Amino acid sequence: MDPVNTRPKGMSIAIGNNAKIDLSTRTEEALLSFGYGKERGKDDDRFGYTIAGNTEAKENLPEGIAIGTNSFARAGSIEIGAHNLGADVEIGDTKGSEFSTYGFSPAAGRQLGVASTTVGTNSYANGMFTTTYGSYDVQSSQYQELHVVDTILDGYKNAFGTVVGSLNSNESIAAFPHSGAENSIIGTGNRVNNSSGTIAIGTGNEVKNTWGVTSATMILSQPLDSPKAMQDAIIDGAKKIQAALSWPSEMGTRSTAYPLPRSLVQGMNLRAKTAYLIATSMS
């Protein structure tokens, strides 16, 4: 499970048919090497970071936990639940075959984010520091850790995305590079597509194309020294982004507002497209 070139002090756990762990020494792992140092990558990863030559960082790399059929976890990630969705069965803006774990990259199940927590039957997440609790949820993206272009276009998608409930989707397959980042989706049957910094609470809400650069881009562009430093960067980034925006409020169904990033949608069966929106209602 754990490659010989990584050798963390802890032991990863993989339980279940085809359950797998992937630990490496690449850029995303460097993000978890708080206090242990890292260096610029070389060769194919020269635009990122690496801990390949840092024994202490490798020994203290958080292990992964994958429990359940076809479960997959990268460094510091936890995935619990059966993952046996049919290849042609649609979930969010993708389908089951995109999350196949038969073999590693690029067919690593497109669940390649570090420090990601996914708990639930047939729930999938592709993004760094994502949190997903519930059944048949998805946080999708095309990120496959193939090359620097893949990292730039898809590596930040869904970062810090949070989904709680069932049948929710944080959709970033055909989307801008920061789609899904810092979205919070709580409830049942909510869909957020090509959006960032969005809060959707309730049942059957839909948000589309409410996007912009988030603090996730600044935070994850280079490794930080501690979890507190990352937390501080999130707080500072949120303040800067908020200060640059006006905050109009619309209440009701099918509301529209100015074409600015970030949305809050709370209620049932609400729609927000290409807007910055605060909406609270039921229809």
237 confidence band (pLDDT: 50, 70, 90) = confident
Q: Considering only residues 257 and 269, tell me which one the structure prediction assigns the higher pLDDT.
A: 269
pLDDT at 160: 95
Whether residue 106 has pLDDT greater than 70: no
Mean pLDDT throughout 35-53? 65
The closest alpha carbon to 224, from 83, 41, 34, belongs to: 34
Which amino acid is it at 26?
A: R
153 confidence band (pLDDT: 50, 70, 90) = confident
pTM of the model: 0.84
Query: What is the helix, strand, coil percentage profile of the chain, to 5?
Result: 15, 25, 60
Q: What's the CA gap between 252 and 78, in Å, rounded? A: 38
pLDDT in tens, 75-91: 999 999 999 998 889 99
Residues in CB range of 221: below 8 A, 6 or more apart: none
Exposure string for 94-104, b = 16+ CB within 10 A, e = fewer: bbbebbbbeee
Mean pLDDT throughout 213-219? 74
pLDDT at 155: 85
Domain ranges in the chain?
64-282
CA distances from 10 to 75, 110, 137 (A): 11, 25, 29
Which amino acid is it at 33?
A: S
Q: Which two tokens stand for residue 181?
A: 């980042």
